[in-house]
Amino acid sequence: MKKTLILFSVAAVFGTAVFSTSSCKKSSNSKMTLYDSLGGTKVVADPSTSGATIESGRLAIRSVIDSTIFVIAGDTAINGHFTTLLAEVTAGNLTGFENLSKNLTDFVAVATGAKDYTYGGLSMADAHNPAKNPRMNGKADDGDFTAFENDLVAGANKNTVPSYLTARLGAIVETLRSTVVQQ
């Protein structure tokens, strides 16, 4: 519980619940990517960093990711895989959290159609293979993956993402199940 509360305070700092979805409706333009629907390339002030700007789509995704990390931290169904991260945060070291937030945000931004960001982390296979990524405490099974998806939906709901967009995000995530689940 203590770890959960600490990570909650971290998420409260980083997980600003600013969510600005595009005014476009889901079927108004078939060329719109999910990234566009989440706010796209419109540049807005970054509420986390004074004077900085950020693409609206990235801000929306980062908000969902940070909320999701918070939900995962309190979810006993899967938080046992994140022991390294939780121990660091408990000790007041936020480097791993910030790296995970950035890499997950980059990954999801690219996966949803962002053109101005790149993902520089491990492949999905290596990131979830404890032999390649010692921060992954044990291989994930199908139940872990479903719990992750549920936590992502909870993270999206904390940021009032419209359900049809959350469903589109869920469909993208689901395509990675067989890569992430390694037992």
* Binding positions for ligand HEM, rule: CB under 6 A: 78, 81-82, 84-85, 96, 99-100, 103-104, 107, 121-122, 127-128, 135-136, 140, 144-145, 148, 173, 176, 180
C-beta of 47 vs 143, nearer to ligand HEM: 143
**Min. distance of Cβ 104 from ligand HEM in angstroms?**
5
| Least spacing, CB of residue 45 vs ligand HEM, in Å | 26
**Closer by beta carbon to ligand HEM, 6 or else 44:** 6
Q: Which residue minimizes CB distance to ligand HEM?
A: 121
Nearer Cβ to ligand HEM (44/110): 110
CB of 79 to ligand HEM, least distance (A): 8
- The DSSP code sequence of the chain is -HHHHHHHHHHHHH--------S--TTS-TT--HHHHTTTT-EEE-TTSTT-EEEHHHHHHHHHHHHHHHHHHT-TTTGGGGHHHHHHHHTT--HHHHHHHHHHHHHHHHHHT-SS----S--HHHHT-TTT-TTS-S-B-HHHHHHHHHHHHHHHHHTT--HHHHHHHHHHHHTTHHHHB--
| Distance in Å, CB of 23 to ligand HEM, minimum | 28
Name the residue nearer to ligand HEM (CB basis): 27 or 183: 183
